[in-house]
Protein backbone atom coordinates (compact mmCIF):
# COMPACT_ATOMS: atom_id res chain seq x y z
CA UNK A 1 0.00 0.00 0.00
CA UNK A 2 1.44 3.40 -0.98
CA UNK A 3 -1.16 5.77 0.54
CA UNK A 4 -4.41 5.32 2.45
CA UNK A 5 -6.72 8.13 1.45
CA UNK A 6 -9.89 6.11 0.96
CA UNK A 7 -11.12 2.53 0.90
CA UNK A 8 -10.15 2.44 -2.78
CA UNK A 9 -6.55 2.11 -1.65
CA UNK A 10 -7.32 -1.37 -0.30
CA UNK A 11 -6.67 -4.38 -2.55
CA UNK A 12 -9.09 -6.72 -0.84
CA UNK A 13 -11.21 -5.67 2.12
CA UNK A 14 -11.88 -9.25 3.34
CA UNK A 15 -8.16 -10.02 3.32
CA UNK A 16 -7.32 -6.81 5.16
CA UNK A 17 -9.98 -7.50 7.79
CA UNK A 18 -8.63 -11.02 8.25
CA UNK A 19 -5.08 -9.68 8.63
CA UNK A 20 -6.27 -7.10 11.18
CA UNK A 21 -7.98 -9.79 13.27
CA UNK A 22 -4.79 -11.85 13.23
CA UNK A 23 -2.80 -8.77 14.31
CA UNK A 24 -5.18 -8.13 17.19
CA UNK A 25 -4.30 -11.48 18.73
CA UNK A 26 -0.68 -10.47 19.11
CA UNK A 27 -0.36 -6.71 18.62
CA UNK A 28 3.40 -6.47 19.19
CA UNK A 29 4.40 -9.31 16.83
CA UNK A 30 5.64 -6.87 14.16
CA UNK A 31 7.32 -4.37 16.48
CA UNK A 32 10.58 -4.67 14.55
CA UNK A 33 8.91 -3.43 11.38
CA UNK A 34 8.66 0.17 12.57
CA UNK A 35 12.09 0.43 14.18
CA UNK A 36 13.63 3.80 13.34
CA UNK A 37 10.49 4.74 11.41
CA UNK A 38 8.49 7.82 12.36
CA UNK A 39 4.85 8.71 11.80
CA UNK A 40 3.74 12.31 12.07
CA UNK A 41 0.11 12.97 13.01
CA UNK A 42 -1.23 16.34 11.89
CA UNK A 43 -4.49 17.41 13.51
CA UNK A 44 -6.47 20.24 11.99
CA UNK A 45 -9.43 19.18 14.19
CA UNK A 46 -10.08 17.67 17.58
CA UNK A 47 -9.77 13.98 18.13
CA UNK A 48 -9.95 11.44 20.93
CA UNK A 49 -10.24 7.90 19.49
CA UNK A 50 -8.22 8.66 16.38
CA UNK A 51 -5.47 10.45 18.31
CA UNK A 52 -5.03 7.68 20.85
CA UNK A 53 -5.62 4.63 18.63
CA UNK A 54 -3.24 5.84 15.93
CA UNK A 55 -0.49 6.42 18.48
CA UNK A 56 -1.17 3.03 20.03
CA UNK A 57 -1.06 1.28 16.65
CA UNK A 58 2.21 2.97 15.74
CA UNK A 59 3.75 2.02 19.08
CA UNK A 60 2.62 -1.58 18.57
CA UNK A 61 4.66 -1.53 15.36
CA UNK A 62 7.70 -0.07 17.11
CA UNK A 63 7.39 3.30 15.39
CA UNK A 64 8.14 6.74 16.78
CA UNK A 65 5.29 9.22 16.83
CA UNK A 66 5.34 13.00 16.30
CA UNK A 67 2.12 14.97 16.84
CA UNK A 68 1.15 18.48 15.71
CA UNK A 69 -2.10 20.29 16.49
CA UNK A 70 -1.71 22.21 13.29
CA UNK A 71 -3.92 25.22 13.78
CA UNK A 72 -2.93 25.77 17.39
CA UNK A 73 0.78 24.99 17.37
CA UNK A 74 1.82 25.70 13.78
CA UNK A 75 0.96 28.16 11.02
CA UNK A 76 -2.19 28.95 9.03
CA UNK A 77 -2.00 27.22 5.65
CA UNK A 78 -2.60 28.62 2.18
CA UNK A 79 -3.90 26.26 -0.52
CA UNK A 80 -4.44 28.53 -3.52
CA UNK A 81 -2.18 28.32 -6.54
CA UNK A 82 -0.46 31.60 -7.30
CA UNK A 83 -1.94 33.41 -4.29
CA UNK A 84 -0.23 36.61 -3.20
CA UNK A 85 0.06 35.72 0.49
CA UNK A 86 -0.25 39.14 2.03
CA UNK A 87 -3.27 38.31 4.20
CA UNK A 88 -3.88 35.83 7.00
CA UNK A 89 -2.20 32.64 5.76
CA UNK A 90 1.46 32.34 6.57
CA UNK A 91 2.60 29.06 5.05
CA UNK A 92 1.67 27.36 1.77
CA UNK A 93 0.64 23.70 1.67
CA UNK A 94 3.51 23.15 -0.80
CA UNK A 95 6.14 24.10 1.78
CA UNK A 96 4.30 22.49 4.70
CA UNK A 97 3.98 19.14 2.93
CA UNK A 98 7.53 19.12 1.58
CA UNK A 99 8.93 20.12 4.95
CA UNK A 100 6.96 17.71 7.13
CA UNK A 101 8.00 14.93 4.76
CA UNK A 102 11.60 15.56 5.84
CA UNK A 103 10.82 14.57 9.41
CA UNK A 104 8.78 11.39 9.02
CA UNK A 105 8.25 8.21 7.04
CA UNK A 106 4.44 8.34 7.11
CA UNK A 107 2.16 11.36 7.41
CA UNK A 108 -1.35 11.02 8.88
CA UNK A 109 -3.85 13.86 8.56
CA UNK A 110 -7.19 14.82 10.10
CA UNK A 111 -9.07 17.70 8.50
CA UNK A 112 -12.86 17.87 8.74
CA UNK A 113 -15.36 19.33 6.31
CA UNK A 114 -16.19 22.96 6.94
CA UNK A 115 -19.77 22.31 5.73
CA UNK A 116 -19.94 25.85 4.36
CA UNK A 117 -19.08 25.07 0.77
CA UNK A 118 -19.64 21.70 -0.91
CA UNK A 119 -17.13 22.36 -3.64
CA UNK A 120 -14.36 23.29 -1.21
CA UNK A 121 -15.07 20.28 0.99
CA UNK A 122 -15.16 17.89 -1.95
CA UNK A 123 -11.86 19.29 -3.18
CA UNK A 124 -10.31 17.91 0.05
CA UNK A 125 -7.64 20.55 -0.15
CA UNK A 126 -5.84 19.63 3.05
CA UNK A 127 -5.67 15.86 2.45
CA UNK A 128 -5.09 16.13 -1.29
CA UNK A 129 -2.68 19.01 -0.80
CA UNK A 130 -0.50 16.90 1.45
CA UNK A 131 -0.88 13.93 -0.90
CA UNK A 132 0.23 16.06 -3.84
CA UNK A 133 3.26 17.71 -2.28
CA UNK A 134 4.41 15.25 0.39
CA UNK A 135 7.23 12.89 -0.48
CA UNK A 136 6.05 10.22 1.99
CA UNK A 137 2.88 8.08 2.22
CA UNK A 138 -0.23 9.86 3.48
CA UNK A 139 -2.93 8.34 5.72
CA UNK A 140 -6.43 9.76 6.06
CA UNK A 141 -7.44 10.12 9.74
CA UNK A 142 -10.81 11.61 8.61
CA UNK A 143 -11.11 14.10 5.84
CA UNK A 144 -13.97 16.24 4.52
CA UNK A 145 -15.67 13.38 2.72
CA UNK A 146 -14.24 10.13 4.09
CA UNK A 147 -13.22 8.33 7.26
CA UNK A 148 -11.88 5.05 5.89
CA UNK A 149 -10.10 3.99 9.09
CA UNK A 150 -13.43 4.11 10.93
CA UNK A 151 -15.08 2.07 8.18
CA UNK A 152 -12.29 -0.48 8.36
CA UNK A 153 -12.72 -0.74 12.15
CA UNK A 154 -16.44 -1.21 11.55
CA UNK A 155 -15.76 -3.98 9.03
CA UNK A 156 -13.51 -5.74 11.56
CA UNK A 157 -16.20 -5.42 14.24
CA UNK A 158 -18.91 -6.84 11.98
CA UNK A 159 -16.69 -9.71 10.88
CA UNK A 160 -16.07 -10.60 14.53
CA UNK A 161 -19.77 -10.39 15.43
CA UNK A 162 -21.68 -11.72 12.45
CA UNK A 163 -23.62 -14.94 12.83
CA UNK A 164 -24.53 -15.53 9.22
CA UNK A 165 -22.71 -15.32 5.90
CA UNK A 166 -24.88 -12.54 4.51
CA UNK A 167 -26.15 -10.35 7.35
CA UNK A 168 -28.69 -7.58 6.96
CA UNK A 169 -27.04 -4.23 7.71
CA UNK A 170 -28.99 -0.99 8.15
CA UNK A 171 -27.50 2.51 8.17
CA UNK A 172 -30.00 4.64 10.06
CA UNK A 173 -29.85 8.45 10.24
CA UNK A 174 -30.33 9.98 13.69
CA UNK A 175 -31.18 13.48 14.90
CA UNK A 176 -28.45 15.78 16.27
CA UNK A 177 -28.41 19.43 17.34
CA UNK A 178 -25.33 20.33 15.29
CA UNK A 179 -24.50 20.06 11.60
CA UNK A 180 -22.21 17.06 11.17
CA UNK A 181 -20.11 15.98 8.16
CA UNK A 182 -20.89 13.06 5.86
CA UNK A 183 -17.47 11.44 6.13
CA UNK A 184 -18.37 8.53 8.43
CA UNK A 185 -21.58 7.69 6.56
CA UNK A 186 -19.83 7.93 3.18
CA UNK A 187 -17.07 5.53 4.14
CA UNK A 188 -19.48 3.16 5.84
CA UNK A 189 -21.54 2.92 2.65
CA UNK A 190 -18.44 2.44 0.50
CA UNK A 191 -17.22 -0.28 2.84
CA UNK A 192 -20.53 -2.16 2.89
CA UNK A 193 -20.61 -2.12 -0.92
CA UNK A 194 -17.39 -4.20 -0.75
CA UNK A 195 -19.11 -6.75 1.54
CA UNK A 196 -21.42 -9.70 1.03
CA UNK A 197 -24.48 -8.21 2.78
CA UNK A 198 -28.08 -7.09 2.47
CA UNK A 199 -27.87 -3.33 2.93
CA UNK A 200 -30.50 -0.65 3.52
CA UNK A 201 -30.00 3.05 4.17
CA UNK A 202 -32.80 4.81 6.01
CA UNK A 203 -33.22 8.53 6.68
CA UNK A 204 -35.85 11.27 6.39
CA UNK A 205 -36.38 12.82 2.98
CA UNK A 206 -33.87 15.60 2.37
CA UNK A 207 -31.04 13.74 4.10
CA UNK A 208 -29.95 11.77 1.02
CA UNK A 209 -26.18 11.24 0.94
CA UNK A 210 -24.07 11.98 -2.13
CA UNK A 211 -25.79 9.89 -4.86
CA UNK A 212 -22.42 8.99 -6.38
CA UNK A 213 -21.61 7.18 -3.16
CA UNK A 214 -25.00 5.56 -2.52
CA UNK A 215 -25.44 4.57 -6.19
CA UNK A 216 -26.95 1.09 -6.27
CA UNK A 217 -27.92 1.10 -2.58
CA UNK A 218 -31.47 0.54 -1.32
CA UNK A 219 -32.86 3.68 0.33
CA UNK A 220 -35.93 3.29 2.53
CA UNK A 221 -37.60 6.35 4.06
CA UNK A 222 -39.65 4.23 6.48
CA UNK A 223 -37.28 3.51 9.34
CA UNK A 224 -39.43 0.73 10.83
CA UNK A 225 -39.54 -1.10 7.55
CA UNK A 226 -35.79 -0.67 7.03
CA UNK A 227 -35.02 -2.12 10.47
CA UNK A 228 -37.03 -5.33 10.00
CA UNK A 229 -34.88 -8.42 10.55
CA UNK A 230 -31.70 -6.34 10.78
CA UNK A 231 -28.53 -7.99 12.08
CA UNK A 232 -26.48 -4.79 12.42
CA UNK A 233 -27.88 -1.29 12.83
CA UNK A 234 -25.34 1.48 12.29
CA UNK A 235 -26.71 4.77 13.59
CA UNK A 236 -25.25 8.10 12.58
CA UNK A 237 -26.28 11.69 12.09
CA UNK A 238 -25.26 13.72 9.10
CA UNK A 239 -26.38 17.09 7.79
CA UNK A 240 -28.15 17.57 4.48
CA UNK A 241 -26.07 16.98 1.37
CA UNK A 242 -28.35 18.62 -1.19
CA UNK A 243 -29.02 21.62 1.07
CA UNK A 244 -25.37 21.43 1.92
CA UNK A 245 -24.38 21.34 5.58
CA UNK A 246 -27.81 22.30 6.88
CA UNK A 247 -29.72 20.75 9.78
CA UNK A 248 -33.17 20.45 8.16
CA UNK A 249 -34.84 19.24 11.37
CA UNK A 250 -34.05 17.12 14.41
CA UNK A 251 -36.97 14.71 14.33
CA UNK A 252 -36.61 12.81 17.61
CA UNK A 253 -38.73 9.98 16.20
CA UNK A 254 -35.59 8.89 14.41
CA UNK A 255 -33.66 8.29 17.66
CA UNK A 256 -32.65 4.63 18.00
CA UNK A 257 -34.35 2.78 20.85
CA UNK A 258 -34.08 -0.72 22.26
CA UNK A 259 -37.55 -1.46 20.96
CA UNK A 260 -36.68 -0.44 17.40
CA UNK A 261 -33.36 -2.27 17.56
CA UNK A 262 -34.97 -5.64 18.23
CA UNK A 263 -32.29 -8.34 18.23
CA UNK A 264 -29.82 -6.44 16.03
CA UNK A 265 -26.35 -5.39 17.11
CA UNK A 266 -25.97 -1.64 17.58
CA UNK A 267 -23.05 0.29 16.09
CA UNK A 268 -21.94 3.93 16.27
CA UNK A 269 -18.52 5.50 15.68
CA UNK A 270 -18.68 7.75 18.79
CA UNK A 271 -18.75 10.36 20.22
CA UNK A 272 -22.50 9.95 20.59
CA UNK A 273 -25.13 12.18 22.19
CA UNK A 274 -27.12 9.97 24.53
CA UNK A 275 -30.91 10.13 24.36
CA UNK A 276 -30.71 12.26 21.22
CA UNK A 277 -29.05 9.87 18.76
CA UNK A 278 -29.73 6.70 20.74
CA UNK A 279 -31.29 5.95 24.11
CA UNK A 280 -29.26 4.90 27.14
CA UNK A 281 -30.74 1.39 27.18
CA UNK A 282 -29.12 0.56 23.85
CA UNK A 283 -25.67 1.96 24.66
CA UNK A 284 -25.59 0.32 28.07
CA UNK A 285 -27.06 -2.97 26.87
CA UNK A 286 -25.34 -6.12 25.57
CA UNK A 287 -26.16 -5.49 21.91
CA UNK A 288 -23.98 -2.38 21.68
CA UNK A 289 -20.69 -2.91 19.83
CA UNK A 290 -19.47 0.68 20.26
CA UNK A 291 -16.64 -0.08 22.70
CA UNK A 292 -15.41 -2.88 20.46
CA UNK A 293 -15.58 -0.56 17.44
CA UNK A 294 -13.35 1.86 19.33
CA UNK A 295 -10.99 -0.95 20.24
CA UNK A 296 -10.80 -2.02 16.60
CA UNK A 297 -9.72 1.48 15.60
CA UNK A 298 -6.27 0.49 16.86
CA UNK A 299 -6.12 -2.57 14.62
CA UNK A 300 -7.62 -0.89 11.57
CA UNK A 301 -4.88 1.73 11.59
CA UNK A 302 -2.24 -0.79 12.60
CA UNK A 303 -2.92 -3.05 9.62
CA UNK A 304 -2.82 -0.03 7.30
CA UNK A 305 0.47 1.20 8.77
CA UNK A 306 1.89 -2.31 8.53
CA UNK A 307 1.02 -2.51 4.82
CA UNK A 308 2.56 0.89 4.19
CA UNK A 309 5.72 0.08 6.17
CA UNK A 310 6.11 -3.11 4.16
CA UNK A 311 6.02 -1.15 0.92
CA UNK A 312 8.50 1.57 1.96
Q: Which of 11, 25, 32, 72 binds a copy of itself (CB under 8 A)?
A: 72
Quote the CA–CA distance of 101 and 96 in Å, as a whole number.
Answer: 8
Which part of the chain contacts a copy of itself (CB under 8 A), choosing from 89-97, 122-130, 189-197, 230-238? Answer: 89-97
CA dihedral 5, 306, 191, 209 (to 10 degrees): -30
CA dihedral 156, 161, 164, 168 (to 10 degrees): -80
- Residue 270 in contact with a copy of itself, rule: CB under 8 A: yes
Q: Could you tell me the smallest distance in angstroms from the CB atom of residue 274 to a copy of itself?
A: 5
| Neighbour count for residue 4 (Cβ, 10 Å) | 24
Q: How far from 146 is each of 42, 56, 93, 181, CA to CA, in Å? A: 16, 22, 20, 9
Q: Could you tell me the smallest distance in angstroms from the CB atom of residue 257 to a copy of itself?
A: 13
Which part of the chain contacts a copy of itself (CB under 8 A), choosing from 15-23, 108-116, 208-216, 275-283? Answer: 275-283
Q: Could you tell me the smallest distance in angstroms from the CB atom of residue 46 to a copy of itself?
A: 6
- Residue 26 in contact with a copy of itself, rule: CB under 8 A: no
Q: Which of 2, 8, 22, 103 binds a copy of itself (CB under 8 A)?
A: 103
Determine if residue 254 is labeled as part of a ligand binding site: no
b/e code 141-154 from CB counts within 10 Å (16+ = b): bbbbbbbbbbbbbb
Q: How far from 213 is each of 74, 105, 190, 217, CA to CA, in Å? A: 34, 32, 7, 9
- Residue 260 in contact with a copy of itself, rule: CB under 8 A: no
Per CB under 8 A, residues contacting a copy of itself are 28, 36, 38, 40, 43, 46-49, 51-53, 55-56, 59, 64, 66, 68-69, 72-75, 78, 82-87, 89-92, 94-96, 98-100, 102-104, 177, 250, 270-276, 280, 283-284, 290-291, 294-295, 297-298
Amino acid sequence: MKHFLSLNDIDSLPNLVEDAIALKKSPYQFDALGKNKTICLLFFNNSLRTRLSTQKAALHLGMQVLIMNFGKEGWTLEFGDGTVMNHSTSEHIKEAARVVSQYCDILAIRAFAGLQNKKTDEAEEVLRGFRKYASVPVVNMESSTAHPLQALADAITMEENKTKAKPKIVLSWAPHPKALPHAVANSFVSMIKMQHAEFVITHPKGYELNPEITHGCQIEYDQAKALEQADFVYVKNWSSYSNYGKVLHQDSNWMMTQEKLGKAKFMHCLPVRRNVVVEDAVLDGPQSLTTEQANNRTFSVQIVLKKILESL
